[in-house]
Structure 1
Amino acid sequence: MYKIETHLHTTYISHCGWLGAQAIIKAYAAAGYAAICVTDHYNRECFDYAEIDLTTPGSKTEDFLLGYRRLKREAERYGIRVYEGAELRFDESDNDYLLYGFHHALLADPDAVMRGGLERFVPAYRADGALLVQAHPFRKKCSPAPAAWLDGIEVLNLNPRHDSRNDLALEYAQANRLIMTSGSDCHRPGDEAKGGILSDTLPEDSFAFAQLLRSGKYSLIKP
């Protein structure tokens, strides 16, 4: 069985992330993980922190994926696969959404994406073929989005500093027949390798990883 992390942040883009590429990869290699999906925060605070100017022309996706690229380079020494992901927050609320299997054009204009809100983003991400999973929907200041706008729910968020009320997330996912995921929500030392999924197959890339989640052919890593 392959261990795969679904929810992880780096210090390069996420202002709340403390860990660099070497520390992350060493910890996950020691814990026996075969792959990691980097889901750095895609919100205004983090773009400011990373000094990504949203007012200039051109796609911002490559700048946003700095953490992914650094982890990918470091991971080559350990034989760990690294997938592209993102944790989106729109201007309208404090909700967070994990995005998997997207093409770069989908996130090229962060200002438009964040101003547009979730409802406007739904047809765009579905036309792109991406997968959207709401992270920790019952955490303080968060609320579950309409199930019809989502593909899945993070039913096990294992960050030790938050009460994500995972029991309510599980109930919501089951009631609405949504994809279910588990994730470490790794930010700091001690957060590593708490959650994720177990799979008999190891996806080749980010798009295959999203397809694995759609298939349901995996189990959740639990505490």
Structure 2
Amino acid sequence: MYRIETHLHTTYISRCGWLGAEAIMKYYTACGYDAICVTDHYNRECFDYAEIDLTTPGSKTQAFLQGYHRLKKVSEKYNIRVYAGAELRFDESDNDYLLYGFHDALLADPDRVMREGLAAFAPQYRADGALLVQAHPFRKKCTPAPAEYLDGVEVLNLNPRHDSHNDLALAYAKEHHLIMTAGSDCHRPGDQGTTGILSDTLPEDSFGLADLLRSGNYTIIRPECTED
């Protein structure tokens, strides 16, 4: 069984992230993971922190994916696959949404994406073939989004500094027949490798990860599960 992290932040883009590429790879190697998805924050605060100017012309996607690229560069030393992801926050609320399997053009204009909001983004990400999962929808300041705009819900988030009310997230996902995911929401030393998913197959890239999540052919790593 392959162990996959679905929710992780780097210090390069996520202002709240403490960990660089080498540290992340060492931690996840020690935890026995086979793949990790870098889901740095895609919000105004983090674009300011990373000094990405949203007012200049041209796509901002590759600048935003700096954390992913840095981990990808060192991944060969650690034999861990690295997938590109994002954790989007629109200007309209404090909700966060994990995005998998997207093409560059979808996130090229962050100012427009964040300003337009979830309802406008939903048909765009679906046309792109991407997958959108609401992260920790019952955490403080968050509210569950209308199910028609979502593919899934993160039903197990084990960031130790937040109460994500995972029981409520699970109930919401079941009620609306949404894809269920789990992530460590790693930001700092000690956050790594607490959950994720187990799969018989190891996706080649983020598009493959999105397909795996759609298939349902995986199990969630529970805190008590230390062995495959």
> 1:91-130 counterparts in 2 under 5 A?
91-130=91-130
Count matched residues.
Answer: 223
C-alpha deviation, 1:5, in angstroms: 0.2
Work out whether 1:51 is the aligned partner of 2:51.
yes
C-alpha deviation, 1:75, in angstroms: 1.3
- The equivalent residue for 2:41 is 41
Cα distance in 1 for partners of 2:105, 2:66 equals: 16
- Which runs of 5 or more structure 2 residues have no equivalent in the other structure? 224-228
C-alpha deviation, 1:74, in angstroms: 1.3
Cα distance in 2 for partners of 1:221, 1:75 equals: 23
Q: Which contiguous aligned blocks of 4+ residues in structure 1 show a shift greater than 3 angstroms?
A: none
For 1:209, give the aligned amino acid. Answer: L
Cα distance in 1 for partners of 2:213, 2:185 equals: 17
C-alpha deviation, 1:78, in angstroms: 1.0
Report % sequence identity: 79
Normalised TM-score (structure 2): 0.97
- The equivalent residue for 2:183 is 183
C-alpha deviation, 1:2, in angstroms: 0.2
Deviation string, structure 1 residues 73-106 (Cα, Å, up to 9, x no partner): 1111011000000000000000000000000000
- The equivalent residue for 1:196 is 196
Deviation string, structure 1 residues 163-214 (Cα, Å, up to 9, x no partner): 0000000000001100000000000010000111000000011101100000
Cα distance in 2 for partners of 1:147, 1:39 equals: 21
Cα distance in 2 for partners of 1:132, 1:7 equals: 13
Cα distance in 2 for partners of 1:9, 1:31 equals: 17
C-alpha deviation, 1:47, in angstroms: 0.1
For 1:132, give the aligned amino acid. Answer: L
Cα distance in 1 for partners of 2:96, 2:222 equals: 21
SS of 2:169 mapped into structure 1: helix
- Which runs of 5 or more structure 1 residues have no equivalent in the other structure? none
- The equivalent residue for 1:77 is 77
SS of 2:77 mapped into structure 1: coil
Normalised TM-score (structure 1): 1.00
Deviation string, structure 1 residues 17-46 (Cα, Å, up to 9, x no partner): 000000000000111100000000000000
Cα distance in 1 for partners of 2:146, 2:18 equals: 32
- The equivalent residue for 2:139 is 139
Cα distance in 2 for partners of 1:128, 1:111 equals: 19
Deviation string, structure 1 residues 116-161 (Cα, Å, up to 9, x no partner): 0000000000000000000000000000000111000000000000
For 1:158, give the aligned amino acid. Answer: L
Work out whether 1:150 is the aligned partner of 2:150.
yes
Cα root mean square deviation, aligned:
0.4
- The equivalent residue for 1:7 is 7
